[in-house]
Structure 1
Amino acid sequence: MTQTADPRLPAAMGQVLLACAPGLLALLWLQGWGVLFNLLLCAGFALASEALLLRLRGQHVLPSLVDGSALVTAVLLAAALPPYVAWWLPAIAASAAIGLGKQAFGGVGRNLFNPAMVGYALVLLSFPLQMNHWPGPVPGFSEGLQLIFGDTGIDAWAQPTVLDGLRHNRSLTVEELFAQHPGFGSVGGRGSEWVNLAFLLGGVWLLQRKLFSWHAPAGLLGGLVLLSLLCWNGSGSDSNGSPLLHLFSGSSMLAAFFIATEPVSGPRQASARLLFGFGAGVLIYVIRTWGSYPDGTAFAILLMNLAVPALDRLAARREQVA
């Protein structure tokens, strides 16, 4: 059997991929074949980039390819990207995630930033038009292929997300938005409620398997709930949405259980992980509500990655005092 730097890593990555499966299936049901195309494109370019850069660095290729870390990065990217975007966008995102987010820092176990969020933030900043278009009626298989590999425009079939519709609402009450906006469901985004529930179930299973501690997910969801509760003014036209809406819309559960828990770029101390998650949850709400992007997960996580050394020092100082 091929050995890796940490023999436990392939098993851990396998469990993460398994826990992602319910959420990916829910996305496939909601968004159609575009999710599968994103998965294949992200996985292919992530593995190819990993192999090429390892070869250029004079390192053994196969052990790093089979440890599962590049594949997990690709899956998280595919789950976050809009479906049916042009093929080159997942290619750029996956290549940047591996090249800039991982290999530029020395490879697995050395990245300062969450690799998937590095790739996502790069394409979000570089191609905002493509990254903010989501399908209304899900296109068929052949039409989806044309959208991804052809030159078909997306404006005719794209619709704003629930978070985007809420942020730009100026006249409708929340009840009217839920009744009139095709993207609203029962408590959050139509369909995305089930996607978030599926990622929640996968994350709870990983917690039960003790793959990570509860601190970062609890902190992120707690920060998101606290700020949304403080800023929620009921159902008026200027409402920023209820805590329940924010929990089950966008990428909340994916961020809490699969992104904020990335061990290398996150804090080491338990209390620091709690603060890391809390800060990420607050930033996600702030960017969603008052920023230029409807879902600020990537920027929130990357900004909190910058704060990790300070959080670890603060936690260590508190332990010494105690």
Structure 2
Amino acid sequence: MSTVTASSPGPAAGGGRGAGGAIERVDRTGKLIYGFLRRIPTWVLWLMVIVWSIPASSLFLNSFRTRDAQRNSGWWESFNEGGWTLANYSEVLGTEQTGGLARALVNSFAIAIPATVIPVAIAAMAAYAFAWIKFRGREWLFIVFVSLLALPNQVALLPLLQLYAGGAHWTIPGTEFTLTLFPDFDLAGSATAVWLTHTAFALPFAVFLLHNYIASLPGELFEAARIDGADHVTIFWRLVVPLSVPALAAFTIFQFLWTWNDYLVAITMIGSNGEAWPATIRIASLAGEFGLREHVLSAGAFVQAGVPLIVFFALQRFFVRGLLAGSVKS
């Protein structure tokens, strides 16, 4: 008579149960944390907002205080001291010797507006082409284009600066023949170099974002337009642009804020050309030698931050609609 004996689980089975148990524990922990965060009262979130707003509020109050007041007492004593002044704002918006921020703000607009309008326009047309125009290699071209998102912007700054300063030339090996790939337009040190760089950096993300929205538009609309004899240009301007206003507005806000608050690209491309400095670079130089005028930094920061705040609150409804665009199908 044979006896059947249950064998003990081997290493593979035990390892499987161990891995499965670890996954269950991680999943259970995630659910506990998620449940805890969902149960946080709203007043706690508002308290966090208030706490985070204290540094900004203190900076705002200091912008109306004199240099001696800022050095001799804390911002919380400003209500007792009184004597608030607009001298800091007058100084940073004054002449070149006392700040020159007014001219820098004009330079910021000269950079931010083209660097916002151009990529939005190009990306909208490219997104429509990738979504609704069939051509050979469309998928591969879209993959390559969007893959540029993985390229760190900092890596491309110096090559672009060399491109703007002297163009791009290639000497054919074994010969003396030099082929000009990009002519020397002498763009280094100008605002044009900055908004061209921002345009190049923004296009991959803009195409990716707008393509997802435009591709979700009902195909019946395009079929009906083609039956009526509309070409791609008519479809784009009469259908795609009006229906894509939320997505276009959302990216426009993002891009304007990015370019307006940029410092790295501007200082790399413009360098020491103070006449073309945007507000971000000019504010960094407001303190002067040995920090003797550091009391005007807070006023300069709020002057520079005023434009993004106005843009955001003025276009807030478009911003919210753009974030929700395409999330719910009617």
> TM-score normalised to the size of structure 1?
0.22
Q: Quick check: which has more Rg, 1 or 2? A: 2
Which protein has greater RCO, CA pairs closer than 8 Å, 6+ apart? 2
